[in-house]
A and B are shown apart, each in its own frame.
Chain A
Amino acid sequence: MKRVISVIVENEHGVLARVVNMFAARGYNITSLTVAPIPNSEFSRMTIMSEGDPKIFEQIVKQLYKLIPVYKVIESDDFIQKEMAMIKFPLKEVKNNLADIDAIARCYNGKISNVNDKHVVVSVVDRPDRIDNFLKAMMAKYKNLEIVRSGVSVIER
């Protein structure tokens, strides 16, 4: 089971290493991880997507709380989840389909962000599962793609 947790931590030396080490040491998975400071505070927010059964999640949350700089662990079924993905297409693959690609990207809050003489770059922002679908569709249709995913960010409703 995939789940996302949001961890509010103090901005201090080594805090990212503490969190990541805890996952590694106890054999828990990190599917994706994003970190950025929370404006006007001494805290940062880490958003971690992980996989495991509910018992493992309970332990993850407790072990996170055990780390001294962890202020709060937010687990919710009611997150707004967003992820960004960028795809780089070789121009020769797609030069006759640019209108199609742009139309599909728009369905995923995206667009063609850059074109040069070699590549076309499309970026989209959406729920991780919808990003999965979008990427699957693109990969089925086009070859030699370069794909970058940002990892998920969440906020409670």
Chain B
Amino acid sequence: MKMTGARIVIESLIKENVEVVFGYPGGAIMNVYDELYKQDKFKHILAKHEQGAVHMADGYARATGKVGVAFVTSGPGLTNAVTGIATAYTDSIPLVVISGQVPTTAIGTDAFQEVDAVGVTRPITKHNFLVKDVKDLAFIIKEAFYLAKSGRPGPVHIDIPKDVTVASTKFEYPEKIELKTYKPTYKGNKRAIKRAVEAIKKAKRPVFYIGGGSVLSGASDIIREIVKFTKIPSVETLMARGVLRYDCPYLLGMVGMHGTFAANMAMNDADLIISLGARFDDRVTGKIDEFAKNADIVHIDIDPSQIGKVVETKYPIVGDVKLVLEEMMPLLFDGIDTERYKEWRDILNRYQELYPLKYKDSNEVIKPQWVIQKTGEIAPEDAIISTDVGQHQMWAAQFYPFTYPRQLITSGGLGTMGFGFPAALGAKEGMKDRVVINFTGDGSIMMNIQETLVGYKYNLPVINIILNNNYLGMVRQWQTMFYEDRLSETDLSDVQPDFVKLAESMGAVGYRVSKKEEFEEALKDALEAKRVAFIDVQVDRREDVLPMVPPNSPLKNMLVFKEDK
């Protein structure tokens, strides 16, 4: 049967079992929206800004593990989507973003709302396409979904000129796809796996360094089993929070710039670091010349370009973390002497006792860390937690009791302020039965607060907890520590909205909290409210995120709490 390009887009998404598209219409993509109107197989959520739409698709993908889909129009629609696409790219989140484009006949003429879309998204997508012929369209959509979710996942962008959405051809959606030039390696090399297992058995001070790839590959269960059996101390990156339960006795906490003392010392003093889908990011390693000087590296990653990129790797294994660990586990369990790591565990336990994560609570002011902990006590154990970017993000990562992978939704790589709320809305859309809470700051929340209306219209009751210190807190912290407290453009105390009124004006419920009792009450009320909620918590203005590895310092040179020095 012959179909227009616009109809092919819709039919292809139905074939891919897409449940929801987040988007924003405009001139160049109108034909696709017209076909969308005529169907009822999947839902469309109209965002208030294209950045919001892409973050929603991203949050949906992170929470559900499915591919997130977004529609935007040409020109400014696409450029507004860029931050969303780049956010997904740095965190390897599978998205398919479809943009309208001016007709092929107008491309290159500086037409109205024309931008070189594939040129713009090339460095921030796993791959992108400009569809020049309607005959290629179905295949390209199939390929886009396949690329987005296979191998190391990532966003794929399809740019469709308006005349291609009008032209028609026979619709045949390919059942299977095989690409000559793209064949990701899933199974690890057997000999490499064997060598790595031997190295683990021989090590005295091994550490599992768990990264976001473990979440993407669904390796949490097997990692929990291996850690429990081998009793090897483990650290998690920001992207891997929840792979192990917060109360796992072998979990030393988060590693890196705001990681725990014990986790960072484990990396510093280890003789073998076993990286599970992590990429030795600069926020994890600290000063690279001083990083893990006595350690050999086992690096398991599906993306070969990550191996050896930052650190010399003695035991490289290209493959899917879960599949590699499935091969490894029986070899590792066979004759491993977990007692040989006991001394190492004791040292690290001692570090945990000496320098635990902590803060000085107060009865006069609310400490932001207390808010995170209290939320962890009140919210259901399976609540999804999203964050924006800054101090509140680090406190959430440090103090929230994460119990399962995909529980924390946060912009780790790109560090996108304004991500948390729309991502939370997308997560809620994908996981309706879960409570979704977004920890945010008074800076970040203002970047996409317009999406409150989306929560209202589509009944997505996300709870925003604003840790309001009237500062751009993380920048303020750096200014205090490294710029002699010159607070250049970070004091927001004279530019605050009335969050309660703002919330109410958009069909949400708002609470202003300045005492501890009020917070508990507000959160309990918000959990019942079934509406988007904003809890504006006035917190201690000058609280710092600690411990901290100063930029470009070795991990062992952590700034700790004053009384611990």
Contact = CB atoms under 8 A, between A and B. Distances in A.
Contacts of B180: 10, 71
A17 B118 CA distance: 10
A55 B308 contact: yes
Contact of B123 (A21, A59, A70): A21
Interface stretch (A60-68, A91-99, A109-117, A128-136): A60-68
Interface string A21-40: 10001000000000000000
A3 interface: no
Contacts of A156: none
A66 B303 contact: yes
B497 interface: no
B118 A14 contact: yes
A146 interface: no
B132 A13 contact: yes
Contact of A68 (B118, B119, B182): B182
A65 B126 contact: no
Given A10-B181, A62-B305, A63-B305, A68 B147 contact: yes
B82 to A, nearest CB: 15
Contacts of B181: 9-10, 68-71
Nearest to A10: B181
A90 to B, nearest CB: 40
B304 A17 contact: no
B122 A21 contact: yes
A150 B126 CA distance: 32
A65 B303 CA distance: 10
B305 A13 contact: no
Contacts, number: 41
Nearest to B147: A68
A68 B122 CA distance: 12
Q: Most B CB atoms within 10 A — which of A13, A68, A70?
A: A68
Nearest to A25: B123
Given A68-B181, A71-B181, A17 B122 contact: yes
B114 to A, nearest CB: 16
B303 to A, nearest CB: 7
Interface of A is mostly: helix
Contacts of A62: 304-305, 307, 309
B447 interface: no
B127 A59 contact: no
A14 B130 contact: yes
B495 interface: no
Given A14-B122, A14-B130, A68 B179 contact: yes
A68 B146 CA distance: 12
A63 B309 CA distance: 10
Given A13-B130, A63-B305, A18 B122 contact: yes
Contacts of B122: 14, 17-18, 21
Contacts of B123: 21, 25
A29 to B, nearest CB: 18
Interface in B302-337: 303-305, 307-309
Interface string A76-100: 0000000000000000000000000
Contacts of B119: 14, 17
Interface in B89-129: 118-119, 122-123, 126-127
B177 to A, nearest CB: 12
Interface string B173-187: 000000111100000
B300 to A, nearest CB: 16
B305 A59 contact: yes
Contacts of A17: 119, 122
B335 to A, nearest CB: 35
Nearest to A62: B305
B126 A68 contact: yes
Nearest to A68: B127
Q: Which 10 residue pairs spanning A and B have beta carbons closest together? A: A62-B305, A68-B127, A71-B181, A62-B304, A68-B182, A66-B305, A25-B123, A63-B305, A69-B181, A21-B122
Given A55-B308, A68-B181, 7 more contacts: A9-B181, A10-B180, A13-B132, A59-B309, A62-B309, A65-B305, A71-B180
Interface of A: 9-10, 13-14, 17-18, 21, 25, 55, 58-59, 62-63, 65-66, 68-71
11 contacts: A10-B180, A13-B130, A17-B119, A62-B304, A62-B309, A63-B305, A65-B304, A68-B179, A68-B181, A69-B181, A71-B181
